[in-house]
Amino acid sequence: MEAGTRRLAIKATGVRDTRGFTLIELLVVIAIIALLMGILVPVLRKVREQGKDVVCQNNMRQIGLAANFYADHYDLYIPRSAEWGGDIKPWFQLFMPFLAQEAVRDDYRSVDIFRCPSYPDKEQTVCYVINGWRSGNNGGGGMQRVATKLTACDSPASTIYLADNEDGPWRTIIKKATDRDVTRCDVFRDSHLPMSESQGTTDGRRVARARHKNGCNSLYLDFHVGWTAAEEMTAEMWSFER
């Protein structure tokens, strides 16, 4: 009887007896969502950066393979620095025949292996710098322009061959192998190291100080890849002679 009376009342008034969310309940739900977002966003950002780090290290490993193939092909010699206007081509151009990717009309924007996904300026096509440290040089500024035999290195497992390129207004954006500053993709003096404060075009910092966490990825002369803290990188790590 009561149920029938209730149905008649709903029919007469046109109002259904339902209970919605209160303002307090809505605020609680919004607060929970905001809390979850606050927890998840940093985690997702960290995962994304870790993914970029993995790609960068894989790129270095592929360059390491190319360097190894190059050494096998040229009696254990590997490229070092190059001089603008000289006969020596930049290291990344010399490695091209030994990589899976090819440049289009000498335009390196199509080559992803030389790109670190964490490099801020996405127009940069050469995101790594090579070891041009002259044997016996203590940071005096000499470049090793000619290829060097792997056997000339005393400690391949602890000698850096390639590292993350620093970004900044003093660092040139390389788009083609014919760009004049392709020869600045090397390291041969103390002021090029990550803890240097120099920002000169020639003597400014060339190894990234904080590309991946507080340091950079490095390819060593035994062709393994590892991470190096900026404050722990020394000139000795670039010298072939110990």
Residue 16, in any domain of the structure: no
From CA 99, how far away is CA 101, in angstroms rounded? 5
Q: Would you place residue 101 in the very low, low, confident or very high pLDDT band (cuts 50, 70, 90)? A: confident
Q: Which residue, 213, 212, 226, 81, is CA-closest to 156?
A: 226
Share of residues in the chain with pLDDT > 90 (%): 53
Residue 65, in any domain of the structure: yes
pLDDT at 145: 85
Question: Which segment of 25-29, 115-119, 193-197 scores lowest on mean pLDDT?
Answer: 25-29
Residue 8, in any domain of the structure: no
From CA 52, how far away is CA 34, in angstroms rounded? 27
Question: Which segment of 54-68, 121-135, 139-153, 228-242 scores lowest on mean pLDDT?
Answer: 139-153
pLDDT at 138: 52
From CA 79, how far away is CA 84, in angstroms rounded? 15
Count of structural domains within the chain:
1
Q: Are 126 and 165 in contact (CB under 8 A)?
A: yes
From CA 106, how far away is CA 206, in angstroms rounded? 24
Assign 3-class secondary structure to the chain.
CHHHHHHHHHHHHCCCCCCCCCHHHHHHHHHHHHHHHHHHHHHHHHHHHHHHHHHHHHHHHHHHHHHHHHHHHCCCEECCCCCCCCCCCCHHHHCHHHCCCCCECCEHHHCCCCCCCCCCCCCCCCCEEEECECCCCCCCCCECCCCEEHHHCCCHHHCEEEEEECCCCCCCCCCECCCHHHHHCEECCHHHCCCCCCCCCCCCCCECCCCECCEEEEEECCCCEEEEEHHHCCHHHHCCCC
Residue 15, in any domain of the structure: no
Residue 5, in any domain of the structure: no
User: How much is the average pLDDT of 1-11?
Assistant: 50
pLDDT at 8: 45
Instruction: Say yes or no to pLDDT of 22 above 80.
Output: yes
Predicted model pTM: 0.79
Residue 46: phi and psi, rounded to 5, are -65, -40
User: How much is the average pLDDT of 186-204?
Assistant: 95
Range of the domain at 111: 23-238
Residue 6, in any domain of the structure: no
Residue 47, in any domain of the structure: yes
Residue 206, in any domain of the structure: yes
Per-residue CA distances from 177 to 68, 87, 185, 187 (Å): 22, 13, 11, 18
